[in-house]
C-alpha cells in the first residue's frame, strides 16, 4: 500500500437507492470532488448506480469500477461513505480486499483512508462500518414490514399490481402533502371489468378440463394482452401469456375474495436469484372471505379449480424431477432457439422451443418440432465420423506442433534476460525481509509481507514461463487417445442407456460449447442446426472452432 506518494489517477463511485435520497448521486459527486481537491487527486471518471439498492451485487457501475481497478486504470477510489459500496458487509469486505490487491487507495468523505492505517486497523474499521450498514438495511426492512402490516390492518392494499384489478389511490381528507395536495395514505384494489372477464374465462376453462398451456396459447392467438404486457421489465419477457402465469393466477385467493398479508417469504439464493416460499399458516394475516368486494370467481368455480389443482399436485413427478432435475438426454440444455429459449422435450420423442410450448409466444420456430433421435444423429454423427476421425485428429496434432514450436521460439527469445530478472527479484526479496526483521518506519509488517508475497509470486511466474517442450510432446501424443475416448462415450450414449447418455452429455458439452442454435429454414419446413466444434476440448491451449450445420 502506498503511503508517501499521493496517487493522482482518481475515480469516484456513487450509489443511491432512489433519486430522492438526501445523499443522491449528484450530491455525492460534489462531496467526492471536494475531498479529491483537498488531496490533490484528479477525478477523471464517475461510476454511478442510481436507483439500485446496495444489497445487490450485480450493479452495473459497481462491476465496471471493479473491472477498471483490475486493469489498473486508476489508483484512488473516492466514496461518499463506505455504505455506497454496498449494504452487505461480506460483499463490501470482499470488494475492499480486491481493490487493495490491485493497489487502489480507498478514501471516503467521512474520514476513512486505506493509506492512513495498518491492515489490521483497516479491517477492524471496515468490519464495524459494514455491520452498521447491514444492520441499517435490516432495520429498514423491519420498518417497511411494520408499515405494510399497519396498512393491511387499516384495510389498504399492500401488494403490487394484480391482473383483473386496478390500483386506486386513497387520499387523506384533512392532511396535505408538501405541494398542497391531499396526502396519499394508501391504495385500494378496484375490479377492471375487461380483465376480470378474462380471469373468469381462464377459471371456467380450467375447471372444464383445459390445460394451462392450451388456455395460454388461445389467449395469445386472440391477441389478448397479458399481465406483463405493460410492465417495464428487461430481465423476463414482458408480453405474451405463459402457462406459468396461468398457473399462478389460478392459485391466487384474491379472486375468491380472500386477502392475505405476509403470505410469502422472499429471499435470495446463493446465485442472487430472488426466491419465494409460503409462510406457515400461523404467520399469515387474513381470513378466508375477508374481501368479498374483490371476488371475481364464483365459489363453485373456485372449488372446482381448487380440486383440480390439488389433484394435479398429487400426480407423480417426471423422471428428471426424481433425479433432482438432471438432464437425461445427450442434447438436453444445449439446443437453443433464436428467440433465446431452450428447446425442451414436449413429448417422449420430440423437442420444441420452450417459449412456444409455454403459451405459443415464440416468433422464430413456433410450430416446428424435431425428433430427439434425429437431432442426435444429425448433430453428433458428423462429430464421431469426421471431426474425431484419426485423419482429422492427426491434422489437429500437426497444427498443435506448429503452434507449440512458435511459442517455444518466442519464449527462447526472452530466456536470456530471464535469469537477470530472477536474480534482481531474489535481491529485492532479501532486502524486504531484512526490513521486516529490523522494523520499517514507513510500512506495517502485514504490508511488507504482502509486498514480499507479490515479489515471490512474480519470481515463480518467471520460472514457470520457461518452455517445456517435453510436456507439449506428451499432450500431442495423447490426442488420439482423447479422441477415441470421446467417440466411445458418444457412441454409448446414442445406444439409449440413460446413465450412459448422461455421461456422454458432458463430453458433448465440452466438444460443442454451451449451445447449439436451431434456426428455421427459409421455407420454415424444418430446423437447421448451427454447430461450433470446440478444438479446445482436445487441443489444450489452442482453442478453435469448425462450423457445421445440418437439417433436422
**Model confidence pLDDT, tens digit, residues 440-474:** 666 666 677 777 777 777 776 666 655 554 545 65
List pLDDT tens digits, range 280-312.
878 788 888 888 999 999 999 999 999 998 887
What values do phi and psi take at 62, rounded to 5? Answer: -60, -45
Whole-number pLDDT of residue 293: 92
Strands 182-191 and 76-79: unpaired
Q: How far apart are CA 368 and CA 117, in angstroms?
A: 65
Whole-number pLDDT of residue 324: 41
- Mean pLDDT of the 191-212 span: 93
Residue with the larger pLDDT of the pair 271 and 374: 374
Whole-number pLDDT of residue 355: 77
The residue among 6, 23, 140 whose CA lies nearest residue 83 is 23
Q: Does domain 9-140 have CATH number 3.40.50.1390?
A: yes
Q: Give pTM, 2 decimals.
A: 0.49
Q: CB neighbours (10 Å) of residue 303?
A: 13
Whole-number pLDDT of residue 253: 92
The residue among 197, 310, 317, 194 whose CA lies nearest residue 251 is 310
- Mean pLDDT of the 271-276 span: 62
Which are the contacts of 136, defined by CB distance < 8 A and separation ≥ 6? 83, 87
- Mean pLDDT of the 303-332 span: 67
Whole-number pLDDT of residue 140: 63
Q: pLDDT confidence of 323, banded at 50, 70, 90?
A: very low
Whole-number pLDDT of residue 550: 54
For the stretch 32-35, contacts whose Cβ atoms lie closer than 8 Å and that sit 24 or more positions apart, written own/partner, are: 32/78, 32/79, 32/80, 32/109, 34/109, 35/78, 35/107, 35/109
**What is the average pLDDT value for the chain, to the nearest integer?**
76
Give me the residue spans of the domains in the chain.
Answer: 9-140, 190-315, 335-389+481-551, 408-472
List beta partners, residue 337.
Answer: 518
List pLDDT tens digits, range 88-125.
777 888 888 888 888 898 988 888 888 766 555 556 56
The three cell numbers of residue 296 are 371475481
Return the percentage of the chain with pLDDT > 90, whole number.
12
Q: CB neighbours (10 Å) of residue 461?
A: 9
Whole-number pLDDT of residue 282: 80
Whole-number pLDDT of residue 1: 45
Question: Which residue carries 483490475 as its cell?
Answer: 70
List pLDDT tens digits, range 57-80.
888 889 999 999 988 889 899 998
Lowest mean pLDDT among 77-86, 88-97, 420-429: 420-429
What does the H/E/C string look like for 389-440?
CHHHHHHHHHHHHHHHHHHHHHHHHHHCCHHHHHHHHHHHHHHHHHHHHHCC
Q: Is 44 helix (H, G, I), strand (E, B) or coil?
A: strand
Residue with the larger pLDDT of the pair 430 and 408: 430
Q: pLDDT confidence of 546, banded at 50, 70, 90?
A: very low
Q: pLDDT confidence of 200, banded at 50, 70, 90?
A: very high
Lowest mean pLDDT among 50-54, 231-235, 239-243, 304-308: 231-235
DSSP string, 189-204: EEE-HHHHHHHHHHHH
Q: pLDDT confidence of 475, banded at 50, 70, 90?
A: low
Residue with the larger pLDDT of the pair 549 and 393: 393
- Mean pLDDT of the 383-389 span: 66
CATH class of the structural domain 190-315 = alpha beta
Amino acid at each position: 500500500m502506498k503511503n508517501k506518494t499521493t496517487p493522482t489517477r482518481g475515480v469516484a463511485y456513487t450509489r443511491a437507492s432512489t433519486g430522492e435520497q438526501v445523499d443522491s448521486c449528484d450530491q455525492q459527486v460534489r462531496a467526492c470532488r471536494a475531498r479529491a481537491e483537498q488531496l490533490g487527486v484528479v477525478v477523471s471518471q464517475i461510476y454511478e448506480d442510481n436507483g439500485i439498492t446496495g444489497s445487490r451485487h450485480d450493479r452495473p457501475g459497481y462491476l465496471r469500477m471493479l473491472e477498471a481497478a483490475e486493469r489498473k486504470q486508476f489508483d484512488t477510489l473516492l466514496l461518499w461513505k463506505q455504505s455506497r459500496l454496498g449494504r452487505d458487509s461480506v460483499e463490501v469486505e470482499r470488494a475492499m480486499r480486491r481493490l487493495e490487491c490491485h493497489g487502489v487507495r480507498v478514501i471516503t468523505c467521512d474520514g476513512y483512508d486505506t493509506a492512513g492505517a495498518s491492515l489490521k486497523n483497516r479491517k477492524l474499521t471496515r468490519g464495524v462500518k459494514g455491520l452498521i450498514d447491514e444492520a441499517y438495511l435490516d432495520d429498514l426492512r423491519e420498518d417497511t414490514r411494520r408499515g405494510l402490516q399497519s396498512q393491511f390492518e387499516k384495510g389498504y392494499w399492500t401488494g403490487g399490481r394484480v391482473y383483473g384489478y386496478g390500483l386506486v389511490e386513497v387520499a387523506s381528507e384533512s392532511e396535505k402533502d408538501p405541494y398542497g395536495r391531499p396526502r396519499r395514505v394508501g391504495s385500494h384494489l378496484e375490479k377492471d371489468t375487461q380483465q376480470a372477464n378474462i380471469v373468469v374465462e381462464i377459471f371456467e376453462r380450467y375447471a372444464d378440463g383445459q390445460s394451462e398451456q392450451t388456455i395460454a396459447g388461445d389467449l395469445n392467438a386472440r391477441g389478448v394482452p397479458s399481465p406483463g404486457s405493460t410492465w417495464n421489465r428487461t430481465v423476463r419477457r414482458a408480453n405474451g401469456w405463459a402457462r406459468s402465469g396461468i398457473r399462478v393466477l389460478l392459485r391466487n385467493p384474491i379472486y375468491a375474495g380472500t386477502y392475505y398479508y405476509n403470505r410469502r417469504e422472499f429471499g435470495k439464493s446463493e446465485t442472487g436469484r430472488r426466491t419465494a416460499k409460503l409462510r406457515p399458516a400461523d404467520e399469515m394475516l387474513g381470513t378466508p372471505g375477508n374481501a368479498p368486494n374483490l371476488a371475481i370467481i364464483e365459489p363453485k368455480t373456485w372449488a372446482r379449480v381448487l380440486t383440480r389443482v390439488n389433484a394435479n399436485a398429487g400426480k407423480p413427478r417426471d423422471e428428471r424431477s426424481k433425479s433432482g432435475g438432471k438432464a437425461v438426454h445427450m442434447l438436453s440444455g444445449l439446443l437453443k432457439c433464436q428467440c433465446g429459449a431452450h428447446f425442451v422435450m414436449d413429448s417422449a420423442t420430440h423437442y420444441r422451443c420452450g417459449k412456444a410450448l409455454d403459451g405459443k409466444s415464440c416468433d422464430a420456430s413456433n410450430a416446428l418440432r424435431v425428433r430427439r433421435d434425429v437431432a442426435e444423429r444429425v448433430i453428433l454423427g458428423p462429430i464421431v465420423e469426421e471431426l474425431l476421425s484419426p485423419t482429422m485428429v492427426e491434422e489437429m496434432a500437426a497444427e498443435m506442433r506448429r503452434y507449440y514450436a512458435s511459442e517455444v521460439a518466442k519464449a527462447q527469445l526472452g530466456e536470456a534476460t530471464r535469469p537477470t530478472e530472477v536474480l534482481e527479484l531474489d535481491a529485492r526479496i532479501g532486502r524486504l525481509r531484512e526490513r521486516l526483521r529490523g522494523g520499517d518506519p514507513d510500512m506495517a509488517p502485514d504490508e511488507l509481507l504482502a509486498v514480499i508475497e507479490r515479489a515471490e509470486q512474480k519470481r515463480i511466474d518467471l520460472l514457470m514461463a520457461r518452455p517445456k517442450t517435453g510436456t507439449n510432446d506428451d499432450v500431442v501424443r495423447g490426442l488420439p487417445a482423447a479422441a477415441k475416448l470421446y467417440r466411445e462415450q458418444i457412441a454409448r450414449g446414442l445406444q439409449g442407456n440413460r446413465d450412459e447418455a448422461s455421461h456422454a452429455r458432458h463430453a458433448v458439452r465440452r466438444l460443442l460449447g454451451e449451445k447449439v442454435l436451431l434456426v428455421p429454414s427459409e421455407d420454415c419446413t424444418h430446423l437447421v442446426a448451427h454447430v461450433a466444434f470446440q478444438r479446445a476440448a482436445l487441443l489444450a491451449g489452442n482453442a478453435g472452432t469448425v462450423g457445421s450445420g445440418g437439417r433436422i
